[in-house]
Structure formats: structure tokens, C-alpha cells
Structure 1
């Protein structure tokens, strides 16, 4: 089974862990933020080093840039992929992505397959929302989450739609918009985690991804 490690130094990453652990063998690792001003003084605990070295996918929710850089420099040659969920500034992003197996998504629910077998195995289940509608004479029987946003908001939206339309005829014209609007009620942390972006912009992107997922599900139903 694919092994994933989620590393955090603060309040982010717990929702991703709760969601991703349902699909993959996932470890949740909490590290202390560096107290020194010098990156050379950053020391990672030996126990956590061994946990990370053994995984295929490392996801960093660390907000301290020196710690994020240390993790990338230390493990880029040991793991298949590193997904940096929290980063600040295009210069820092470019520095991190100078490693071919490091990706810094603008928002975590935009992740899609890139042709690499390991990365595609992960993003076939986690990333850009994708759902399947099961209907009986245009009445909703079930919604299958084929690919969930890392934070679990896709399930949140799907459960709302299922509860509202259970056994009822779908309003196909308005359903995608309704799904997108419902995402707005999920307490998304992406904007705060990104540190430099507008929260409404983030939520609009996440909302759009879920709207599009339900629109595609209707189109291919």
C-alpha cells in the first residue's frame, strides 16, 4: 500500500490526515518550529526521520519556511514525491520545485495526475474533486466520491446533496451551483495556510472545483 506522511508544525494538516488515512497508510507527524535564526541549527528528531524516510508521499503543512526547506532538502532523494501544502512567495516556490519530485500547489484541491505512477496512484483518490451520481429515473440514489479534496470537503458537500435530494428528482440545472455554494459553508483553512492570499479567492477556487465536479457528473450520468 502507498505510504504517506503528513508533517505539520502548527494547526494545519489534521483534516487531511483524517481523510487520507482512509485511503492510504498515513502517518501524522508534529514537529516543533525552529527557535534558532539559522537553518543549519535545525535538527529533526531521529524517530520522525525514520518515519518519513519510509514513505512514498511526503506532504508538508509546515508554516515555518526554514523547516519546510529542511524537510525538502533532507528527503527529496528519499521519497517519491513531496507535496508542499504551505508556502509563501513565488521565489520560495521555485526554490522548492527545483527538485523534480516536489510540487507546491496553489490550493490542495487542484491536484491531478501527472503521469508518474506513484503520484497518480495518490491523486486518483485525493485531489481535485470528482463524484459519481447514481440515479433512478432522475431521482438520486447515491453519490460516490471518486476523488476527494484532501481536507474532506467533497464528502461534506456530497452528504449535504444526498440528504437534501434523497429519493427526489434532481434539479440538474442548479445542482452544480448549489454544490459550489455549499462548499462555502465548509471551514476551509487554505487561505490562512497559504499566508499571502485572499481568503475569498481561495474559497472561490474550491467552490468552482466542486461546482465543476457535479457538472461533470451530470454531463456523464
Structure 2
């Protein structure tokens, strides 16, 4: 089984840790963000760095760009894959992608296989939502989550929609994301917060639409 390290410098990552831990050996590591504005003030304690390097796959929810870049630079030769869950700006994204084993998703609900065995093993369980729906007539009797968003919102939506009518079920799934609530707008991926909400909602809407079509 692969080992996961989730790294944060603030309030994000706890939901992912709670969601991922039952499936994979997972470490949750909190780093202190730099107090200054210059990259030479970044300090990653050796003890935490060793724990992070021991993982096969690292997910960062670090908001400070210098800390993100220094961490990726330090660990990329030691780990199989890195998912940067919080980033801003195409230039910064391209700088991170240049390391080769880094993914910077526009939304954590949009992770799909890329051919790397470690990454694909993770994404088999977490990423773009996949559900299976069982119905009796027009009533939903069960929803099995085959691939959950890393934050756990897919499981939340599935539980909320059991017993519902199949009428407009995909639309209901998208709307339920707003009640989780989705934290994508706070991850600083875009300048348009509504765009991120809509992305997460649409991924779930599509997943439930496909599941309904497969159930027929």
C-alpha cells in the first residue's frame, strides 16, 4: 500500500486527511509559513522533511508560494508524485510542473489517471467523482461511491441523495456540493471563486448523470 503525506501551513487539508486515511497509510504534517516575504526566510524543519520524504505521494495544501516551491524542490527526487492542491498563477504552476512529477489540478475533484503507478493507485480511490446508483422505479435506494473527491464531498452528496427521486438527480448532486460546503473557492486556484464552485458542482453532476445512464 502506498504512503501518503498531506502537508499544510494553514486551515486546509484536515478533510482530505480524514477522507484518505481509511484507504491509505496517511501522515498529516503542519508546517509554519514564513513570516517574511522573501524566499530565503523559508525554513522546513528536518524532522518534518524526513516524514514527508518517506511518503510515496505528497499532497500539499500550502498557501505560501515560497514554502510550496521550497518543499517541492526538496522532496521531488525522493517521492513518486506530488499533488499541489493550492497554487495561483500560470507562471507559478509552470514552475512547479517543470519538476516532472508534480500535478497542479485546477480542482482536486478533477484528478484522473496519468500513467504513474503511485499516482494512479491513489486516483483509483480519490479524484474525479465516480458513483454507482441503484434504483427501484424512480427512487434511489443506494449510491455507492467508487471514487470520492479527496475532501469527502462525494460521500456527503451520496448520503444526502439516498431515497430521493431520480428526477433531476444530477442537478441535485451539483447543488448539494454547495451545502458541504465546498472549500475549492478558498484554495486560491482562480481569481473567480464562483468558477471553482461551478467546477466542483459540475464534476458531481456529471458523475451522477453517468451513473443514472449506466443504471438504466
Name the TM tier (shorter chain). over 0.9
Query: How many residues are treated as equivalent by the alignment?
Result: 215
Deviation at 1:87, TM superposition (A): 0.7
What is the TM-score normalised by the length of structure 2?
0.94
Q: Quick check: 1:212 aligned with 2:183? A: no
Runs (5+) with no aligned partner, structure 1:
none
Match of 2:191 in 1: 197
Superposed, 1:68-83 pairs within 5 Å as 68-83=68-83
Which region of structure 1 is more displaced relative to structure 2, 138-147 or 49-58? Answer: 138-147
Distance of 1:195 and 1:24 partners within structure 2: 26
Deviation at 1:138, TM superposition (A): 5.2
RMSD across aligned positions (CA): 1.4
SS in 2 for 1:71: helix
Q: Quick check: 1:129 aligned with 2:123? A: no
Superposed, 1:90-109 pairs within 5 Å as 90-109=90-109
Deviations 1:42-77 (A, max 9, x none): 221122112111111111111111100011100010
Match of 2:179 among 185, 192, 196: 185
Runs (5+) with no aligned partner, structure 2:
none
Report if the CA contact (8 A) 2:184-2:200 is conserved. no
SS in 2 for 1:145: strand
SS in 1 for 2:100: coil
SS in 2 for 1:73: helix
Decide whether aligned partners of structure 1 residues 183 and 38 sit closer, same or farther in structure 2, where only a CA change above 3 A counts.
Answer: closer
SS in 2 for 1:60: strand
Deviation at 1:121, TM superposition (A): 0.5
Distance of 1:148 and 1:58 partners within structure 2: 18
Which region of structure 1 is more displaced relative to structure 2, 192-201 or 68-77? Answer: 192-201
Deviations 1:153-203 (A, max 9, x none): 1011101001x43xxxx42x4111111111121222211211642221111
What is the TM-score normalised by the length of structure 1?
0.92
Deviations 1:122-156 (A, max 9, x none): 00100101101123455433111100011111011
Match of 2:15 in 1: 15
SS in 2 for 1:114: coil
